[in-house]
Chains A and B, each alone.
Chain A
Amino acid sequence: GQNIDQPTEMTATEGAIVQINCTYQTSGFNGLFWYQQHAGEAPTFLSYNVLDGLEEKGRFSSFLSRSKGYSYLLLKELQMKDSASYLCAVRCYRLAFGKGNQVVVIP
């Protein structure tokens, strides 16, 4: 089976840095994805990790530790448009999603 755990909500101010954690226990592992989902919209791809370490993509960075079953997404220089739910998804073949972490950015 698959179990992916994320905290449910956090609030941060514009310009700040937030770290969104994800822990997982899955029967297989073929990479971990982070998606952003605005309310009522489709998930959009942010980043992908399959090897341990940090992947940086502009204001977003994602880290993976396979031995610990742990990943985080780091959002820097927060903007109002970053208010969304951030979904961690582990791929075996299918994508298994966590419940998502709702980030609310306040001015």
Chain B
Amino acid sequence: EPEVTQTPSHQVTQMGQEVILRCVPISNHLYFYWYRQILGQKVEFLVSFYNNEISEKSEIFDDQFSVERPDGSNFTLKIRSTKLEDSAMYFCASSELGARLQETQYFGPGTRLLVL
């Protein structure tokens, strides 16, 4: 069964450093998403991406975040200058279509980011 994959599974970085989290969505999916989950808290939407542009973003997704689809398979989330509060599990998700009936988002296993 096709699945979303993410690398790395864990990332430790120093405050102020840039990190790039990578995702390979399911191959026939067209919509891609990033969510994050701070330890013990709920899953929070960051951004959705379709047709090589951001379709929606939350208030969390400020100027230090960016997303890119550098080639036909990868979808990346860049955090320009990490802060302690960016420590969280970051989930990538994809869906075949967008906000249509019965359109399920499938989640990758996540990247656990720790900012020291």
Where the two chains meet, the residues of A that have a C-beta atom closer than 8 Å to any C-beta of B are 30-31, 33, 35, 37, 40-45, 48, 50, 87, 89, 91-100
Q: Given A93-B48, A93-B56, A98-B42: A42 and B91 within 8 A (CB)? A: yes
A93 to B42 CA separation, bound complex (whole angstroms):
18
Q: How many A-B pairs with Cβ below 8 Å? A: 60
A94 touches B102 (CB 8 A): no
Tell me the B92-116 residues at the A interface (CB within 8 Å): 93, 98-99, 101-110, 112
With A31-B101, A33-B104, A41-B109 already in contact, the answer to whether A87 and B43 are too (CB < 8 A) is yes
Given contacts A43-B107, A45-B105, A96-B45, 4 further A-B contacts (CB under 8 A): A42-B91, A43-B91, A92-B99, A95-B33
Using CB atoms and an 8 Å cutoff, list the residues of chain B in contact with chain A: 33, 35, 41-45, 48, 55-56, 58, 89, 91, 93, 98-99, 101-110, 112
- For B42, the chain A residues whose CB sits under 8 A away are 87, 97-100
Assess the B44–A93 pair: CB atoms within 8 A: no
Given contacts A93-B55, A93-B56, A94-B56, contact A48 B107 (CB under 8 A): no
Point out the residue from A42, A45, A98, A99 that lies within 8 Å of B109, measured CB to CB: A42
Show 6 residue pairs from A and B whose CB-CB distance is below 8 angstroms, ordered by the A residue: A31-B102, A33-B104, A42-B107, A45-B106, A89-B43, A94-B45
